[in-house]
Amino acid sequence: MSGIQSQRWLLRVIALGLVVFVPPLAAGATGQHDAHVHGVAEITLAVEDRKVEIVLMAPAMSVVGFEHEAASEVQVDAVSSARRLLSNGAALFSFKGARCELQEADVDVSAVFNGAETGHTGHDDHDTRQSEEEFYGGDESHGGDEGEQSHSDISAHYTFICAQGEKLEAVRVGGEELPFGLETINAAWVSDRAQGAVELTATKRLIPLN
Q: Is the Cβ–Cβ distance between 70 and 62 less than 8 Å?
A: no
Kindly give, in sequence order, each residue whose CB lies less than 8 Å from that of residue 158, ignoring residues fewer than 6 positions away. 53, 54, 55, 56, 89, 92, 93, 102, 104, 105, 106
Q: Is the Cβ–Cβ distance between 54 and 45 less than 8 Å?
A: yes
Look up residue 18 and give its DSSP letter: -
> With the C-alpha atoms ordered 108, 82, 154, 40, is the resulting torsion angle positive or negative?
positive
At 5 the pLDDT is 52
At 165 the pLDDT is 84
Per residue in 170-195, pLDDT tens?
999 998 889 998 999 999 999 988 99
Per residue in 33-84, pLDDT tens?
344 567 899 999 999 999 999 999 999 999 999 989 999 999 999 999 999 9
Per residue in 80-136, pLDDT tens?
999 999 999 999 999 999 999 999 999 999 999 976 443 333 333 344 334 444 434
At 176 the pLDDT is 85
137 beta partners? none
Residue 21's nearest CA partner among 201, 184, 170, 186 is: 186
At 124 the pLDDT is 38
CA distances from 87 to 157, 190, 208 (A): 9, 23, 23
At 36 the pLDDT is 56
Per residue in 3-17, pLDDT tens?
445 444 454 543 344
